[in-house]
Amino acid sequence: MAGGATSAMTKAGQVVLMGFDVDGVLTDGTLYFSAQGDAMKAFSSLDGHGLKMLQRGGVEVAIISGRSSAALELRAANLGITELHMGIDDKRAVMGELLARRAIGFAQAGYMGDDVVDLPLLRACGFSAAVADAHEEVLGRVDYVAGKKGGSGAVREVCDLILRARGKWDDAMAEYLA
């Protein structure tokens, strides 16, 4: 954790809108293409459930990706994520628009990325996170570094952290422990 455990928890507790990159965060970053040119992606079911729990816990989820793919559209729809932004060059600007529509500031936003193209948005948000295998320039500039790699539960780890920081963990777990 670049910013320290207490700082990361405090910042995560302020998040009301959490954004995620895709390639290298929601996936392992490997790009698969069929012979017909269709992009295929593998997503973690643990991460998916974490995103659903985060939404049920009152945090809006956005996906902001530099690439576009039909696979990502299907995955976002499956998870009930309506703020899907693909083919984005300026991720910070997109997050700014999302926040402006909700009349909230960057201090209440979080983003999870893995590469240097994510740095402008990571640095703008009140809470920033990266996967364990993120680029070294990113690892030293975020509030929280997950112990897991992209596509392998890192997103779930951050979702759980935010729920705990917001005091929503017990509510999130109640239906599973009843």
User: What distance in Å separates the CA atoms of residue 25 and residue 142, rounded to the nearest whole number?
Assistant: 14
Domain around 23: 16-63+82-102
Residue 173 lies in a domain: no
- For residue 23, the domain's CATH number is 3.40.50.1000
pTM score: 0.94
38 — pLDDT class (breaks 50, 70, 90): confident
Distances (CA, A) of 89 to 34, 35, 67, 82, 120: 25, 27, 9, 19, 11
Q: Is the pLDDT of residue 1 over 70?
A: no
Tens-digit pLDDT profile for residues 58-89: 999 999 999 999 999 999 999 999 999 999 99
Tens-digit pLDDT profile for residues 93-120: 999 999 999 999 999 999 999 999 999 9
User: What distance in Å separates the CA atoms of residue 113 and residue 118, rounded to the nearest whole number?
Assistant: 6
Torsion-angle region of residue 4: left (phi > 0), alpha (psi -120 to 50) or beta?
Answer: left
Residue 86 lies in a domain: yes
Residue 54 lies in a domain: yes
Residue 140 lies in a domain: no
User: What distance in Å separates the CA atoms of residue 177 and residue 145, rounded to the nearest whole number?
Assistant: 28
State the distance between the two ends of the chain, measured CA to CA, in whole angstroms. 33
- pLDDT in the model for residue 32: 87
Residue 162 lies in a domain: no
Tens-digit pLDDT profile for residues 127-173: 999 999 999 999 999 999 999 999 999 999 999 999 999 999 999 99
Residue 59 lies in a domain: yes
Distances (CA, A) of 155 to 25, 61, 144, 166: 7, 12, 12, 17
